Amino acid sequence: MEAPLSLLEHYKTKQPVTCGHVGALTKEETDKLRQLWQLVIDEFDRTDSEPLRVLFRLSDSDALYEDDGLTSLSFEPLVPLSSKDRAQSESATPESELQSESVMQSESTTPNGTPLSNKIARAGSGLLGWMSSGRSTPASTSPDEDAAAQQRRRESVQDHVQRTQHHTTPLVPAPFVPLFKQPEQTRTFRSAFWQAATQTRNADSWVLRFLRARKWDVCAAFAMLRKALEWRAGQALDEIMFYGESQLHMHTMKSGLAFACTRDRLNNPVFVIRVRVNMARERSIAAIKRFLCWQIETSQLLASGVDGRVTLVFDMSGFTRDNIDLQLVRTLITLLTNYYPETLGVMLIYVNSLLFSGLWALIAPFIDPNVKAKIILARNASGLVPFIDRKCLPVELGGSKAFKYEYVVPEINENSCMGDVKARGVVERTFGDAVDAYERATRTWLTSKSDDVSVDAGHERDSAREAVCKAFDALDPYVRARTLYHRLESI
């Protein structure tokens, strides 16, 4: 049996990573997939299962979510950005919120079990000491900055569009209503599962992510899957995607902190994160968490043909002390490790900085090994070219692709269909019927004795899966606000 290709060999030969993916499963892996699906179906059938709670405020959160440091992604107001107003905001911040921001996700620990946040807190003086500070340097704004300017610097996309286009029409013309007629404060395991699993257009692909992340340990994979759904429900990700950019920070969107602009040699969409434009003092941590989740969820639309995998390029050029933001680093690592497993194709860190070397030495030991194996340090464009063809690499990264990020604000009526409650009801019922049929086909598949290790037993499940995809495509415009990538015709 041939040894599997290394990550770099996959890129050199342009052979997609297929090991452990749909269409390339061994008999043992197919059996593991069946076992995990059986646990999922059993959970669907439970009548005594507690609903998954939606957490909108820190005061509503319980220990599970306080530990992960990612609570309250939904509609918290953006913090004031002037030094005076920020000081007032911080002095009024509840102690529970300060504590929540100072802790890392409970699974992100040192090898001896010490929480990463505790390790960082003891990093000492000097370089690592000030890098590990929990709060940013106060904003250096002019004392003469007027209240209107301060307000513009912290406004949402919705606020910006209404101010600059002189109208009061909301960008999303309807209140949020969860799928499957769920109440606003809770989600069932089943509804949360289908809201997540349909993002990859193949529920098997989504389920397999957890098996690969947990080394094919079925019980561990199910525990991870369940925790991910609890987190998704708790953060109301379906609501975040419903309102989309309208509730994101206009300054963050305009700055080009993160954006998709090309594809790598395996056809994965490439997201560039320009660290030099990240100033923690210019937005609240809740705003950046919401922004990152929106970007990752949106990336699944761009990556639907490559099993949901994306490539990240951290552009560290121009990186200074002001750009150091361990809140952002911890958040991104936690998201990729615990809630979006196997989403990362490769992470390229484009850097030539002694300052970053100190930061990397601090965080590298605590990154999940599965994620760390996909991190490549590149000191120049030549280090990126093995993964991204030079003609596809933006000029600002040393390539020849002419690309300049410019944020295109939402159009007033681009989400008008979201206000058509009757039409949504029709397509949502069709989607619900398709999901029911897929679940029935899956139950039949679980009891079948097929020896085929590479495809589903029979055609019924294949047809049902295609029906789910078609129904979800019809439903999507009613439950997800259009995105920048729709306006750029990338989707």
Q: Would you write out the chain's pLDDT as a tens digit for each of its 491 residues?
A: 567 888 888 898 988 888 999 989 999 999 999 999 999 999 999 988 889 988 753 333 333 333 344 444 443 333 322 233 333 333 433 333 323 333 233 344 443 444 444 444 444 333 333 333 433 334 444 555 567 766 777 899 999 999 999 888 899 999 999 999 888 889 999 999 999 999 888 999 999 999 999 999 999 999 999 999 999 999 999 999 999 999 999 989 999 999 999 999 999 999 999 988 887 777 677 788 889 999 999 999 998 776 788 999 999 888 888 887 777 877 888 898 899 999 998 999 998 777 777 778 777 887 778 788 889 999 899 999 999 999 999 999 999 999 999 999 999 999 999 999 999 999 999 999 999 999 999 999 999 875 554 344 558 999 999 999 999 999 999 999 999 999 999 98
Could you tell me where the DSSP H helices lie in 135-265? 147-153, 157-165, 189-197, 203-213, 218-234, 237-243, 250-255
What is the distance between the alpha carbons of residues 354 and 357, in angstroms, rounded to a whole number?
A: 5
259: three-class secondary structure by DSSP: strand
Locate 293 and state its tokens: 């989740």
Which one, of 371, 258, 263, lies nearest residue 311 by Cα?
Answer: 263
Beta strands 375-378 and 269-274 are unpaired
* pLDDT in the model for residue 268: 93
Burial tier of 128 (Cβ tally within 10 Å: 0-12, 13-18, 19+): middle
CA 277 to centroid of chain Cα atoms: 20
Which one, of 387, 291, 279, 296, lies nearest residue 337 by Cα?
Answer: 296
Could you tell me where the DSSP H helices lie in 344-455? 354-363, 369-372, 381-384, 421-447
DSSP sequence for 51-70: PEEP--SGGG--HHHHHHT-
- Residue 79 amino acid letter: V
What is the distance between the alpha carbons of residues 355 and 281, in angstroms, rounded to a whole number?
A: 20
* pLDDT in the model for residue 56: 53
What is the distance between the alpha carbons of residues 156 and 79, in angstroms, rounded to a whole number?
A: 11
What is the distance between the alpha carbons of residues 246 and 240, in angstroms, rounded to a whole number?
A: 10
What is the distance between the alpha carbons of residues 415 and 222, in angstroms, rounded to a whole number?
A: 36
**398, 314 contact by CB (below 8 A):** no
Question: Left if phi > 0, otherwise alpha if psi is -120 to 50, otherwise beta: which for 371?
Answer: alpha
What is the distance between the alpha carbons of residues 422 and 172, in angstroms, rounded to a whole number?
A: 16
What is the distance between the alpha carbons of residues 207 and 202, in angstroms, rounded to a whole number?
A: 9
**218, 36 contact by CB (below 8 A):** yes
* pLDDT in the model for residue 83: 31
**296, 340 contact by CB (below 8 A):** yes
251: three-class secondary structure by DSSP: helix
410: three-class secondary structure by DSSP: coil
